[in-house]
């Protein structure tokens, strides 16, 4: 949602066609992300290979595609200044955090499920933005943030809430009466 900041000098194109295009793109991203998550969970849980072998296989594909992108876009800069040009301590910290996060995600999917991973990611985003507000002071929450954060927190609580099993001595429901007939 675009913010209603009057000091912004750029105008936001909110025509109906661009809104539908944006909604379509978001839906495609949601479905492809959900499909890939479920497929990855099936792949990790049903294959005889270990989790480490699967991670190495995924890493090989990303190395090949990343190397191709580097060759196509930055080959001159890499040839002149080397591959690790512009790498600072912060860059290395981010690289190690991303690698560690990938290992954690694959472990969560192996021993839990994709839905739990989605909730963990959502809660992580909410906690990161709260930390950014209090520790760094570079985030100003809006009403839409509070609505989204509330939905994430409620959904996470509902998912973890234990389902009450019906008492075997209670009166049968209408569905149970129909099944008995």
Q: Is the dihedral of CA 96, 102, 105, 109 positive or negative?
A: negative
DSSP 107-157: HHHHHS-HHHHHHHHHHHHHHHHHHIIIII------HHHHHHHHHHHHHHH
**Paired tokens of 167:** 């008492």
Q: Which residues have CB under 8 Å from 44's CB, separation 6+?
A: 51, 54, 106, 109, 110
pLDDT, tens digit (0-9, with 9 covering 90-100), for 13-51 = 567 788 888 889 989 998 888 888 888 788 777 878 887
pLDDT, tens digit (0-9, with 9 covering 90-100), for 84-117 = 888 889 889 988 888 888 788 777 777 777 777 7
Query: Which is more confident, 121 or 62?
Result: 62
pLDDT at 16: 76
Q: Is the pLDDT of residue 121 over 60?
A: yes
Res. 179 pLDDT band, cuts 50 70 90: low
pLDDT at 39: 84
Res. 133 pLDDT band, cuts 50 70 90: confident
Res. 64 pLDDT band, cuts 50 70 90: very high
């Amino acid at each position: 949602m675009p913010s209603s900041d009057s000091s912004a000098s750029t105008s936001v194109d909110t025509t109906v066609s661009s809104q539908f295009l944006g909604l379509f793109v978001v839906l495609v991203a949601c479905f492809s992300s959900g499909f890939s998550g479920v497929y990855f969970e099936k792949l990790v849980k049903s294959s005889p290979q270990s989790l480490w072998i699967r991670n190495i296989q995924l890493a090989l594909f990303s190395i090949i595609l990343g190397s191709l992108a580097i060759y196509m876009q930055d080959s001159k800069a890499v040839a002149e200044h080397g591959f690790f040009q512009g790498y600072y301590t912060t860059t290395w910290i981010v690289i190690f955090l991303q690698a560690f996060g990938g290992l954690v995600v694959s472990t969560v999917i192996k021993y839990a499920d994709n839905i739990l991973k989605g909730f963990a990611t959502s809660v992580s985003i909410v906690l990161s933005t709260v930390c950014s507000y209090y520790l760094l002071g570079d985030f100003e929450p809006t009403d839409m943030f509070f609505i989204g954060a509330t939905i994430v927190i409620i959904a996470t609580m509902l998912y973890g809430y234990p389902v009450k099993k019906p008492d075997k001595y209670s009166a049968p429901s209408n569905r149970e009466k129909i099944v008995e007939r």
